[in-house]
Structure 1
């Protein structure tokens, strides 16, 4: 795996953690300037572009069946997500005041486990699963479903087939006379961010890259526009106002030769643990909010201190879960002991 992709995964995960941390601050410090500090949601868009990039890069030039592809993705995504979902549902059942955005509801729980878009019973305006950040996984799994099927297409035609399939899905969702939760969800052009990542991987594999002198400024400008556009535009325009800067960031980053640079070990590791951080951080933030409210320690109730704690503890908690749930790591440890 390219080390810069690990860095971007870590940064994207921490952006999302920061975004949700700021939302938590408002619950403990009503005087906190929420509007000024609220950004980071665009970390999701970087994740989507990265996902498309990695899926193409790891399958191009290889003979992989759809079944094998699905097996690998399920093995990586499903176990931790199901554990988090079932844990959230259990908490919502026995202590409903702990998780503010979760209500125990059997249909909603089943839809969440099966990655089916569903209206959140706690807030019907949201199409989100039991674990709220898991809405992105519904898109991820849908992309994997389409991409896996197209592994049956010859590689030279696969990108065109993917373009056609994604465009047909979005258009069909908008043309169907019956508006449903599913058509609303999958009709969102945000799914083109995955496609953008695939195109970048194709360019990378053909060594069509930015010059080094251009790539570094492009990364900085990409992040600048990503954050500025997040402040200026709402989610209805995210597929291009947030998606395009995310594409620029990834394309510029993979154009840089990081092999000549020292590896930032902690950032590389957080990239490896980014999925665990993303899935578990909501629990960490809820626990920290409850703890701070209970202890009533003034310094912990200050916005910047609270956010810093959220970032630190979410990273530590996610890393711990990553260590516990990575089968390969356990095998290596057993071999080392033997």
Structure 2
């Protein structure tokens, strides 16, 4: 895996953690003015473009059956997500005051486990699963479903088939009566996955930006991502947030990192980014509760609180990553067997 992809995964995950950390301050004090501090939601758009890139990069030029593709995706995504979902539901049932954005509701829980869009029981205006950040996984699993089926199509036609399928889905959803499902799958945000696929195809064909252009483009991409996030809401994200995310990835993969020293901790956080993303909501809730018990005013100490949330989420996600990665368990078992 390209090391810059790991860097981007880490940055994207920490952006989302920062975004939700500031929202935690708002939960304590609804009058808290975060207009000039609240950003990072666009880390999701980087993830979506990355996902399309990685899926094409890891399947191009290889014979892979849809069932094998699904098995690998399910093994990576489902166990931790289901565990987090069931844990959230249990907390919502037993101690509802801890997770303020979660209410125990059986239909909502089932829909969450099946990656189906559903209105949040705690906030009917919000279409999100029990684990709120998991709304992105509903899109991810939809993309995997479509991409896996299209592995049956010859590779030279696969990109066109993917574009046609996604366009057909969007148009169909726009023509059907408005429902939760048509609203979700009719969102052009799914084109961000397609953009990542296009970038991967260009990368494999060695169509890259010149090194002298790639670095400035990377900086400009991040600048516009954050500026656009401030100026535009999520209704415009497919292009106002998606295009800068595409520029960022295009620039990053055009840069030759092979002769540069690897930033070990950042690469590791990229490897653990999924665990960080899924578990950070629990870490933030825990830190908020601890601050309440210790009578720490997180509004007054906002920067310290947010910093603690970022560091705590990174550490917590890394621990979960170590505990839930099958290959690491295999290495541990072999080590224990050797000792015995």
Report if TM-score (shorter chain) is over 0.5: yes
Q: How many Å apart are 1:255 and its aligned residue?
A: 0.3
Residue 314 (structure 1) shift: 0.2
Q: Does residue 209 of the first structure (1) align with residue 199 of the second (2)?
A: no
Do 1:105 and 1:121's aligned partners in 2 also have CA atoms closer than 8 Å? Answer: yes
State the match for 2:273 in structure 1.
274
Aligned length: 337
Alignment correspondent of 1:142: 142
**2:230 aligned residue:** 231
* Cα distance, 1:43–1:299 mapped onto 2, change above 3 Å: closer
Check if 1:191 corresponds to 2:190.
Answer: yes
Q: Kindly report which structure 2 residues correspond to 1:12-161, keeping only aligned pairs within 5 A, or say none.
A: 12-28=12-28, 32-161=32-161
Question: In 2, Cα distance between the equivalents of 1:189 and 1:87?
Answer: 32
Aligned 8 A contact 2:25 2:298 in 1: no
Q: CA deviation at 1:11?
A: 0.2
* Deviation per residue, 1:217-263 (Å, 9 max, x gap): 11100000000000000001000000000000000000000001000
Quote the residue 2:310 is aligned against: 311
Between the aligned partners of 1:142 and 1:32, the Cα distance in structure 2 is 37
Query: TM-score, normalization: structure 1?
Result: 0.98
Question: 2:119 & 2:30 partners in 1: Cα distance?
Answer: 29
Instruction: Determine the structure 1 residue equivalent to 2:170.
Output: 170
RMSD of the TM alignment (CA)?
A: 1.1
How far is 1:30 from its partner? 5.7
Say if 2:291 and 2:298, in contact at 8 Å, map to a contact too: no
Deviation of residue 336 (structure 1)? 3.3
1:296 aligns with 2:295: yes
Following TM superposition, by how much is the alpha carbon of 1:31 offset from its aligned partner in structure 2, in angstroms? 6.3
Give 1:332 shift.
1.5
Deviation track 1:144-165 (CA, whole Å, cap 9, x = no partner) reads: 0000000000000000000000
Label 1:179 to 1:300 Cα distance change in 2 as closer, same or farther (>3 A).
closer
Name 1:7's counterpart in structure 2: 7
Q: List alignment gaps of at least 5 residues for structure 1.
A: none
Instruction: Please say if residues 19 and 41 of structure 1, whose CA atoms lie closer than 8 Å, have aligned partners that are also in contact.
Output: yes
Question: TM-score, normalization: structure 2?
Answer: 0.97
- Residue 322 of structure 1 corresponds to 321
| Cα shift at 1:27 | 3.0
Partner Cα distance (1:94, 1:296) in 2: 24
CA pair 299-18 structure 1, distance change in 2 beyond 3 A: closer
Q: CA deviation at 1:300?
A: 8.6
Q: Quick check: 1:52–1:195 contact (8 Å CA) kept in 2?
A: yes
* CA distance in 2: counterparts of 1:30 and 1:190, whole angstroms: 30
1:319 aligns to what SS in structure 2? helix
Q: 1:272 offset after TM fit, Å?
A: 0.2
Q: Secondary structure at the match of 1:102?
A: coil
In 2, the alpha carbon distance for the partners of 1:298 and 1:183 equals 43
CA distance in 1, matches of 2:15, 2:74: 25
In structure 2, list runs of 5 or more residues that go unmatched: none
How far apart in 1 are the matches of 2:158 and 2:139? 20
Q: Distance in 2 between matches of 1:3 and 1:162?
A: 27
Q: Matched residue of 2:206: which SS?
A: coil
SS across alignment from 2:45: helix
Instruction: Give SS of 1:276's match.
Output: helix
C-alpha contact (below 8 Å) 2:32/2:299 kept by paired residues: no
For residue 40 of structure 2, give the secondary structure of its aligned residue in structure 1: coil
Q: What is the SS of the residue equivalent to 1:129?
A: coil
How far did residue 298 of structure 1 move?
4.8
